């Protein structure tokens, strides 16, 4: 927008979350029509250690607030822009729908396509076909998030100069180092100093107790004697078997599905 200058950017981005950023701009005119900024694309370009490979952060403006600040004796209008991915309409809707004869990736990509979300499919697993699947009084984002969590599917965003893409993944081996950030310096400033160089300022390691066994079961009325119980041990648990998580119903009627769900839990 003409007349607005970049001041600062803050926010949060994480796996399987819709990122939320606050872009703060400065200007001399507080009368810019804020409504014309809503829904508009915006890209922030961040220089990296490799000057030939900048980092892009792209999203859509979903909120605009204006206030005032005085800097070095000059009064400016402060525009705070909330920036979110193309998922933003899916966070705010609510619907009731039935999907029949589809896998979870098919359902997810159908809904993302309806909201013009760019998608890259890096899934390597095979997924069951659901006889029917219901979205009931929930937002489209809550619905697909629930399905992806059930099937062990994660997502993240890749950014380019003029767009961002939601990437579906189901294996840690699919994640590659970000170009320009293969090596990130660690800046230790015990005296409380600071540095202008990009890097990591804090680092911590943590261990916690986790359940040792996850088990689940279900019932098939067509085969009442079918044995569907499945249990998987967590090798990372410090005391295997000391904490047991049991779930019923498991939403399956085939043993293969039981093994899959027990493993990804």
> Per-residue pLDDT tens for 201-215?
778 888 777 787 887
For the whole model, what pTM was predicted?
0.84
Distance, CA of 212 to CA of 244 (rounded, Å): 6
* Rounded Cα distance, 204 and 36, in Å: 43
Q: Could you tell me which residue, 22 or 75, shows the higher pLDDT? A: 22
Residues 128-160 have pLDDT tens digits of 899 989 999 999 999 999 999 989 999 999 999
Q: Is the pLDDT of residue 241 over 60?
A: no
**pLDDT for 147:** 94
Confidence tier at 239 by pLDDT (50, 70, 90): low
pLDDT, residue 145, reads 95
Q: What is the model's pLDDT at position 14?
A: 92
Q: Residue 108: its pLDDT value, please?
A: 96
Residue labelled with tokens 């279900």: 218
Give the pLDDT confidence score for residue 144 in this predicted structure: 96
Rg (CA), the chain: 24
The answer to whether the Cα torsion of 84, 89, 94, 96 is positive or negative is negative
Which residues lie closer than 8 Å to 68 by C-beta, 6 or more apart? Answer: 30, 75, 76, 77, 78
Question: Domains in the chain, please, with CATH?
Answer: 4-84 (no CATH), 89-170 (3.55.50.10), 213-264 (no CATH)
- Residue 106 — very low, low, confident or very high, per pLDDT cuts 50/70/90? very high
Report the percent of the chain where pLDDT is more than 90.
Answer: 46
pLDDT tens digits, one per residue of 12-65: 999 999 999 999 999 888 888 888 899 999 999 988 777 777 889 999 999 999
Q: Which is higher by pLDDT, 232 or 126? A: 126
**What's the token pair of residue 139?**
């937002």
Of the candidates 37, 49, 92, 6, which has an alpha carbon nearest to the alpha carbon of residue 178? 49
Q: Are 168 and 158 in contact (CB under 8 A)?
A: no
Q: Residues 173-192: what's their mean pLDDT?
A: 76
* pLDDT of 43: 94
Q: Which run of H or of E encompasses 120?
A: strand 119-121
């Amino acid at each position: 927008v003409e007349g607005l200058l970049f001041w600062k950017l803050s926010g949060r981005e994480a796996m399987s979350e819709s990122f939320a950023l606050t872009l703060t701009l400065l200007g001399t005119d507080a009368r810019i029509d804020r409504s014309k900024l809503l829904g508009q694309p915006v890209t922030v370009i961040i220089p990296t250690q490799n000057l030939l490979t900048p980092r892009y952060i792209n999203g859509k403006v979903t909120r605009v607030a204006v206030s005032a600040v005085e800097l070095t004796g000059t009064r400016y209008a402060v525009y705070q822009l909330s920036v979110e991915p193309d998922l933003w309409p899916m966070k705010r809707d609510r619907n009731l729908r039935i999907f029949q004869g589809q896998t979870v990736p098919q359902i997810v990509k159908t809904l993302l396509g309806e909201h013009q979300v760019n998608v890259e499919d890096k899934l390597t697993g095979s997924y069951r076909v659901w006889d029917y699947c219901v979205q009931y009084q929930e937002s489209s984002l809550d619905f697909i998030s629930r399905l992806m969590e059930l099937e062990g599917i994660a997502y993240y965003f890749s950014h380019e100069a003029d767009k961002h893409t939601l990437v579906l993944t189901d294996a840690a081996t699919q994640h590659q180092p970000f170009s320009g950030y293969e090596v990130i310096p660690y800046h230790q400033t015990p005296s409380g100093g600071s540095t202008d160089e990009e890097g990591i300022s804090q680092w911590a390691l943590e261990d916690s107790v986790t359940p040792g066994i996850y088990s689940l079961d279900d019932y098939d009325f067509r085969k009442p004697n079918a044995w569907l119980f499945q249990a998987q041990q967590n090798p990372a648990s410090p005391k295997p078997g000391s904490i047991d998580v049991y779930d019923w119903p498991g939403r399956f009627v085939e043993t293969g599905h039981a093994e899959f769900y027990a493993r990804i839990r």
